[in-house]
Structure 1
Amino acid sequence: MSEVPKKEIRLNAFDINAAMHNAHGLWKHPENERYRYKDLGYWVELARLLERGKFDALFLADVFGFYDIYRGSRDAALRDAIQAPINDPSLLIPTMAYATEHLCFAVTVPTTYEHPYSHARRMTTLDHLTKGRIGWNVVTSFLPSAARNFGLDRMIEHDERYDIADEYMEVVYKLWEGSWEDEAVLRDAARGIYTDPAKVHEINHEGKHYKVIGPHLSEPSPQRTPVLYQAGASGRGRAFAARHAECVFIDGHSFESMKFYVDEIRAQAVANGRRPDDVKVFMALSTVVGRTPEEAEEKFRELTRMSSEEGPQAIYGGYTGVDLSKGAPEDILGYRRTDHGQTVMARFTTMAEKPYTYGEVIEQVKKIGGRAVVMTGSAEQVADQMQEWVEKTGIDGFNLGHLVTPSSLKDVVDLVIPILQERGVYKTEYAPGTMREKLFGSGTRRLPDRHPGAGYRYEARGHDDG
């Protein structure tokens, strides 16, 4: 009997164009170079390190407001660099793409505040400039401070944000897939025709939230539609992911809960006419790697000594809408439905194995790595743990945060990845092609016909310009 081939583990680096990401308090670490986030050289160095480690992508998070729920103020977030100050992540990508050949880039852009017409052009531009190495992390945004700064009196309700996102996707599919035919751009000098006007079409979208006539401003890019990521784990978020997402990003808490999410999302994808393997699932992960277990434990103790007291509570407030300073340490934290992140709210309430007090929740969120699983140990031990998560849950890989930049990533690239490669569970060379082809194989440059976005192609609409 032939041996079943081992599943290849995929890695993204999880980052943000800010002074600090999810390693709260660790900006103080003497080896941390996060303060260089304003320097293009820093990002080029990072991209080249990731390409040396054969990472699939750099996954760039983003937020559009301050974490100001905790104590009713943004002060704690500012003191501890909780994703502020922060810059636009999309502007980093062309330079990093120019400095690399294979590394791909997934950028977070919210459907709630970015208009689909301008967003479609930006993503097409990035897909052109990267030669098809771009993905879009579709989010709906959750901070009340962002809503206020975009002129709203209150944050849009959780499920309504997904209703808006559904129509948003319809608009961008029409622009990317249906507005320009493949043969529209001729560059025919003899006839004096650069673009054939008959092959460029209005989309004439008029819905509840958007009115976009079109056509798309940009000619078709290598992938047309970027690879679609989604990071919502609520019931509504999972339904959205099952319909649209090609890659899903989920926090992991236990083998059982992760396997539940993976199985459910893939089952829902099948119910939407897709295949289970149309969806790659990535789990949040942080690592503390030593050349020996003892060295890793000492690193972990050092990081714990530098961890922040208030910073994690500030970010928890933004994720959940709950101000942990308002409860006595012995009070039980009960579930409350908010318009923030419902899954984060459920973690220590409805999804927890026992009732948690405010004090216990504070101790949990203060742990190194935030909401992510943290794997600590020698390179062999971390490699073992990574394989175990993949084998027991069905995930495809990890979104790897770095607690100390760049040394946390260098430890994985130099120590862990060679072990995974020796075991035959990590690539030794990149696959050719676009981001979608690297993820799903040769001949998959475009969305598959079974994806809902394919139904908006010009030819799929029966040549109806309306």
Structure 2
Amino acid sequence: MYKLFNSSWRDDAVQLDRQRGVYTAPELVRPINHVGRFFSVPGPHIVHPSPQRTPLLLQAGTSRAGKQFAAQHAEAVFVSAHAPAVVARNIAEIRQTARDAFGRDPAAIKVLALVTPVLGATEEEARAKLAEYRRYASHEGALALFGGWTGIDLDRYGDDEELRQVESNAVRSTVEGYARFAPTNSKWTKHTVAEHVSIGGNGPVLVGTPAQVADGLEAWVREADVDGFNFAYVLFPQSFKDIIDLLLPELRRRGLFWDDYAVPGGTYRENFYGVAGQKYPPAEHVAAKYRWAAGVPASEHQIPG
């Protein structure tokens, strides 16, 4: 992929010279003849590169392979877990591997956590919304999802059994993570887990006023070391309208939400890093060595294998 985006067309290959009638200088485009496991591209890359060359690389998942891939390639990582501590461990591992194994700046890898906010002008209103949403949720489907994510079958436990008191360490620790933002006196049975998973999936559900939800977001930033959030919705588009109308003013009041792009008119990557001119991946990223920069003869830029 990096060869196609970066090595086939030199940065200045596109001339756009109307007076000479030259769109592209052919000597600045070279064949790659890429042959890969999943696809092949004979000759050069068939279109000129975008302003970013390599698209901003976002990766999802924190499996062992996923974390290794993220450490080498990702510029942003989507994560999901109910406990900030779980996310914090995964993020720390990704960033350490990025630094130690691939020479990358670990702070340059941004992490976005899955969160489902349920907002109301009052806490009572928000909880009433959540109760209404749960009326339409499937507990059976939620427990099937839980089993697929965790490998834990909760059918073996009784309807009223408190899962934070069972013998299984895996069950106890998993459910403790789910209960992180729940009232301290709440009881967590398999039906509680099903209710929790049915709305919000494998991420936390933050319920309350804009101030309460913002407090929850700040706790995740502080405890999990995340850089931002991937907001999920319960209703479309109402959930996003609530975020816009209720949550964003509170985040702006706290200085936690931007008012404009860092680089107006810039590329996604320039605004992602907040650096004008940062159209390409950073110099320490693996993609950088594939770039055929302007002014460099083809003979002086060897395409990595």
Q: TM-score, normalised by structure 1?
A: 0.54
Q: Does 1:353 align with 2:186?
A: no
Q: Does 1:200 align with 2:29?
A: yes
**Equivalence for 2:220:** 389
**Equivalence for 2:253:** 422
Structure 1 residue corresponding to 2:4, chosen from 175, 178, 192 = 175
Q: Does 1:280 align with 2:113?
A: no
* Cα distance, 1:186–1:456 mapped onto 2, change above 3 Å: same
* Cα distance, 1:249–1:365 mapped onto 2, change above 3 Å: farther
**Equivalence for 1:215:** 44
**Equivalence for 2:301:** 463
What's the offset of the Cα at 1:365? 4.1
Aligned to 1:306, the other structure's residue is in SS state coil
* Cα distance, 1:351–1:258 mapped onto 2, change above 3 Å: farther
Structure 1 residue corresponding to 2:98, chosen from 269, 274, 299 = 269
d(CA) in 2 for partners of 1:394, 1:384: 15
Q: CA offsets, 1:21-64, max 9 Å, x none? A: xxxxxxxxxxxxxxxxxxxxxxxxxxxxxxxxxxxxxxxxxxxx
User: Does the 8 A contact of 1:313 with 1:366 survive in 2?
Assistant: no
Q: CA offsets, 1:168-197, max 9 Å, x none? A: xxxx11111111111112233444432111
**Which residue type is aligned with residue 133 of structure 2?**
L
Q: After the TM superposition, which residues 50-61 of structure 1 pair with which residues of structure 2 at under 5 Å, given as runs?
A: none
**Which residue type is aligned with residue 235 of structure 1?**
R
**Which residue type is aligned with residue 274 of structure 2?**
G
User: Does the 8 A contact of 1:365 with 1:371 survive in 2?
Assistant: no
Unpaired segments of 5 or more residues in structure 2?
159-167, 176-187
Q: After the TM superposition, which residues 128-143 of structure 1 pair with which residues of structure 2 at under 5 Å, given as runs?
A: none
* Cα distance, 1:418–1:321 mapped onto 2, change above 3 Å: closer
Q: Does 1:454 align with 2:303?
A: no
What's the offset of the Cα at 1:419? 1.1
What's the offset of the Cα at 1:223? 0.8
What's the offset of the Cα at 1:289? 0.6
User: Does the 8 A contact of 2:139 with 2:194 survive in 1?
Assistant: no
Unpaired segments of 5 or more residues in structure 1?
1-171, 332-348
Q: After the TM superposition, which residues 2-21 of structure 1 pair with which residues of structure 2 at under 5 Å, given as runs?
A: none
* Cα distance, 1:226–1:381 mapped onto 2, change above 3 Å: same
**Which residue type is aligned with residue 280 of structure 2?**
R
**Equivalence for 2:162:** none
Q: Does 1:330 align with 2:149?
A: no
What's the offset of the Cα at 1:240? 0.3
Structure 2 residue corresponding to 1:260, chosen from 86, 89, 112 = 89
* Cα distance, 1:247–1:218 mapped onto 2, change above 3 Å: same
User: Does the 8 A contact of 2:140 with 2:194 survive in 1?
Assistant: no
How many aligned positions are there? 273
User: Does the 8 A contact of 1:329 with 1:360 survive in 2?
Assistant: no
d(CA) in 2 for partners of 1:262, 1:221: 30
Q: After the TM superposition, which residues 111-126 of structure 1 pair with which residues of structure 2 at under 5 Å, given as runs?
A: none
What's the offset of the Cα at 1:206? 3.5
* Cα distance, 1:323–1:350 mapped onto 2, change above 3 Å: closer
What's the offset of the Cα at 1:390? 0.6
**Equivalence for 2:244:** 413
Q: After the TM superposition, which residues 357-372 of structure 1 pair with which residues of structure 2 at under 5 Å, given as runs?
A: 363-367=192-196, 368-372=199-203
Larger Rg: 2
Aligned to 2:139, the other structure's residue is in SS state coil
d(CA) in 2 for partners of 1:451, 1:224: 13
Q: TM-score, normalised by structure 2?
A: 0.80
What's the offset of the Cα at 1:398? 0.6
